[in-house]
Amino acid sequence: MQRFEERPLLKVENLTKQYGPGCGECSQPGRPGLIKNYCPSCGTVYACSDVSLDVYPGEILGIVGESGSGKSTLMQCLYFDQDVTSGTLTIDDPELAGENLFDVSSQRKRYIRNHKYGMVYQNPVKGLRMDFSSISNIAEKQIAAGGRHVGQMQSAGERLLDVVSIPLFRMKEEPRNFSGGMQQRVQIAKALSNDPPILFLDEVTTGLDLSVQAAVIDLIKQIQRDLGISMIVVSHDLAVIRMLADRTLVMLNGRVIESGLTDQILEDPNHAYTQQLVYSLL
Amino acid sequence: MKAEPQFAFLDEGSKKEIRRATLKAVAIPGYQVPFASREMPMARGWGTGGLQLTCSLVGKDDVLKVIDQGADESVNAVSIKKLIRATTGIPVTERTEEASLIQSRHRIPEVPLTKDQILVLQVPMPEPLRKYEKKESVTKRLHAESEYSGAWLMLFEQIMKYGRTTTGADHPVLVNGRYVMAPSPIPRFDNPKMDHSEALILLGAGREKKIYAVPPYTEIRSLAFEDHPFEGEDFSGKSCRFCGATGVFLDELYIQETGMTEHQCNDTSHCADRLGRQEEKEVQHATI
Ligand SMILES: Nc1ncnc2c1ncn2[C@@H]1O[C@H](COP(=O)(O)OP(=O)(O)OP(=O)(O)O)[C@@H](O)[C@H]1O
Ligand SMILES: [Mg+2]
Ligand SMILES: [Zn+2]
Ligand SMILES: [Zn+2]
């Protein structure tokens, strides 16, 4: 698969997110002396270090790595839940062209979230209001994007609930009454409700029964096929990434240690850590 | 030597600070200005925010009216009037037209207010987004960014659950096209009275330590979806059993003897005023 002609829809360069002040030791290029992502002399955690990635139109980019490797932090930085320490983000969109979107005002970031992004959080509590009905949860994103017509938002919400196979007679129930798999489906419906060109999915299948997992994975594939949305899918589970992602990044201790076509990584892993991951899958 | 009792209870320093907050509130319509809420000789949550505004504003030439949910004679209204009278000596009145300063809980009088009057409303919960977002730091940012999805979402949820918005009182309004504001628990019926009001409207929340304002002639729009227009309580076809008034906010009551529901003015002084004038007319008729 050649992608030289195509321009990435979303481009991240040298994203770094640190928790803590940093010191002389850990600010050196390459950050020697860290224990995993942690600087023992000043206590700073480098949750993401110099992460660069491209997402092409319509593709699913997978990110895999062990617990604590910085996957959720990366997603939350891209979704502007967290401020980055440094780095650039550009999106190939006439409205946003040429700007480092990490540097724009919080109002503009909100605009991007409401109009360009969808997000499914690892923990549904972060993505849903458990004390509002499911249909209102879906409408929230449309309201944020300027929706002021109840009838239109309700029918759009109903259509999306149908897409994610939540029976309509349950739409007025609060998601706290729902199973984990249903909550993830409501999150997906909500994330899709503003027709975003970019969708972030953080561990959508983690903690679900295998059969429910398979159904959610089918749903994601179907969304990619039908709507052509570009996605970043994060999982610590290589099996999930293998089913979904065209290309994959492997993260370890906040860094990208390997990247390429998913099939290639699976067949011929370079990095010792990736080899370990792949062999444990077999 | 006994110290002179302080005019209008609060010391001048406190009054000045409250007036400074009030000026800021007037300058930024609908914006909640924090202030150092004082201890008052009544429990917080009983209108101490409104009372502090009243104390900071009242002068020797003022005439005060205090109403509690439409009634001038409720215990709460009476004790506020007593306090102001005892510490200022100014007259109090029940007639809306006669008052220069009106402190009210949960109602705006039926008689249209004029530019020579100030209405002070008592506020239990000044933050219209609080049910949606618990953290003050977050709601502050949402106001700063004019991000009011939360207010709309609460209305949307009501429509989903009950088929219509169910805010009986305190239905959120957009002030001057900028800030979403809690109008205090006035009935929806009273919201339109705020729009382009000739009188200055000040709102005070003692427990939450906030003052905000609707300056005269400010545009006030009640939030409503395109396909669910805002509506006040509907009293069409109903009238006051005493004075016969229509087009006013009516209380509904069940009359045991007849087993019927009847209605009467919620604004008691308005009702008494109308009755008084009707009697005058009758007397005039009788003497002619
Ligand atoms: N607010 C914070 N303060 C300090 N350190 C943090 C904070 N949030 C995350 N971290 C650290 O950043 C690192 C990356 O965490 P992150 O949640 O991104 O990992 P992850 O790859 O998503 O893990 P998992 O697979 O368990 O979800 C971890 O070492 C974590 O302890
Ligand atoms: Mg995570
Ligand atoms: Zn360090
Ligand atoms: Zn009457």
Per-residue pLDDT of A29-62, as tens digits, reads: 888 889 999 999 999 999 999 999 999 999 999 9
Domain count of chain A?
A: 1
Q: What does the pLDDT profile of chain A (282 residues) look like in tens digits?
A: 445 568 999 999 999 999 999 999 888 888 888 999 999 999 999 999 999 999 999 999 999 999 999 999 999 999 999 999 999 999 999 999 889 999 999 999 999 999 999 999 999 999 999 999 999 999 999 999 999 999 999 999 999 999 899 999 999 999 999 999 999 999 999 999 999 999 999 999 888 888 888 988 999 999 999 999 999 999 999 999 999 999 999 999 999 999 999 999 999 999 999 999 999 876
Given B30, B49, B204, B206, the catalytic residue: B30
Ligand 1 atom closest to A48 (CA): 14
Specify whether B153 is located in the same domain as B44.
yes
Q: Determine whether the shortest distance from the Cβ of A37 to ligand 1 is under 6 A.
A: yes
Domain region containing B239: 234-288
Q: How far is CA A79 from CA A10, A204, A253, B86, in A?
A: 12, 16, 21, 60
Residue B24 covered by a domain: yes
Collapsed DSSP state (helix, strand, coil) of residue A247 = strand
Residue B55 designated active-site: no
Domain region containing A146: 134-195
Specify whether B84 is located in the same domain as B170.
yes
Q: Whole-angstrom Cα distance, residue B22 to residue B92?
A: 23
With the CA atoms of B228, B233, B239 and B243 taken in that order, what torsion angle do they form, in degrees rounded to the nearest 10? -140
Is B161 within 8 Å of A148 when comparing Cβ atoms? no
Ligand 1 atom closest to A74 (CA): 18
Residue B208 covered by a domain: yes
Residue B229 covered by a domain: no
Per-residue burial over B66-77, b = 16 or more CB atoms within 10 Å of its CB, e = otherwise: bbbbbbbebebb
Specify whether B120 is located in the same domain as B38.
yes
Q: Does A148 touch chain B (CB under 8 A)?
A: yes
How far B165 CA sits from the closest chain A CA (Å)?
A: 11
Using the 3D structure, point to which of B202, B222, B242 is the last residue of a domain: B222
Is A172 within 8 Å of B226 when comparing Cβ atoms? no
Is B225 within 8 Å of A150 when comparing Cβ atoms? yes
Specify whether B155 is located in the same domain as B41.
yes
Complex-level ipTM = 0.89
Is A136 within 8 Å of B228 when comparing Cβ atoms? no
Residues of B with a Cβ under 8 Å from any A Cβ are 141, 145, 147, 149, 152-153, 156-157, 159-161, 225-228
For the entire predicted model, the pTM comes to 0.90
How far A263 CA sits from the closest chain B CA (Å)?
A: 43
Closest among B81, B77, B34 to B62, alpha carbons compared: B81
Q: Does A136 touch chain B (CB under 8 A)?
A: yes
Distance B237 CA to ligand 4 centre (A): 14
Residue A142 covered by a domain: yes
Collapsed DSSP state (helix, strand, coil) of residue A99 = coil
